[in-house]
């Protein structure tokens, strides 16, 4: 592994990615990165984050139908999912 740059860790565990590395990885403000471990050390990779719904499309259809018919609400996604499975 070739070491290109170094950086210090702050008291909060934060590290500034050196400009040279950001340019090599095409990282812009707001970009997401993933950390991995290898035999050589820590690996930093650009990545994209996607939000995943806790419900399937079929479950959402049931939820929308129930909400429009009964106006029922739940305190958590888990409670709603439990009710949907009971249908």
> If the chain, 87 residues long, is cut into consecutive pieces of 10 residues, what is the mean pLDDT of each piece?
85 93 91 90 87 85 77 79 83
Determine the Cα–Cα distance for residues 83 and 77; give it in Å rounded to an integer: 10
Q: What is the pTM of this model?
A: 0.50
Residues 43 and 65 grouped into a single domain: no
Its domain, for residue 43, covers 1-49
Determine the Cα–Cα distance for residues 80 and 76; give it in Å rounded to an integer: 7
Lookup: tokens for 71: 């106006």
Residues 43 and 70 grouped into a single domain: no
Residue 4: the pLDDT is 79
Residues 44 and 64 grouped into a single domain: no
- Do 33 and 43 form a contact (C-beta atoms < 8 A)? no
Residues 2 and 36 grouped into a single domain: yes
Q: Number of structural domains, the chain?
A: 2
Residues 3 and 42 grouped into a single domain: yes
Angle formed by the axes of helices 57-70 and 77-86, nearest 10°: 90
Determine the Cα–Cα distance for residues 60 and 74; give it in Å rounded to an integer: 14
Residues 77 and 38 grouped into a single domain: no
């Amino acid at each position: 592994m070739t070491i290109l740059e170094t950086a210090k860790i702050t008291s909060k565990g934060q590290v500034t990615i050196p400009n040279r590395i950001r340019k090599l990885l095409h990282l812009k403000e707001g970009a997401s990165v993933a950390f991995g471990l290898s035999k050589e050390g820590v690996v930093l990779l650009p990545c994209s984050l996607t939000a995943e719904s806790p419900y399937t499309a079929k479950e959402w259809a049931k939820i929308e139908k129930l909400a429009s018919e009964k106006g029922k609400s739940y305190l958590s996604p888990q409670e709603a999912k439990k009710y949907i499975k009971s249908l």
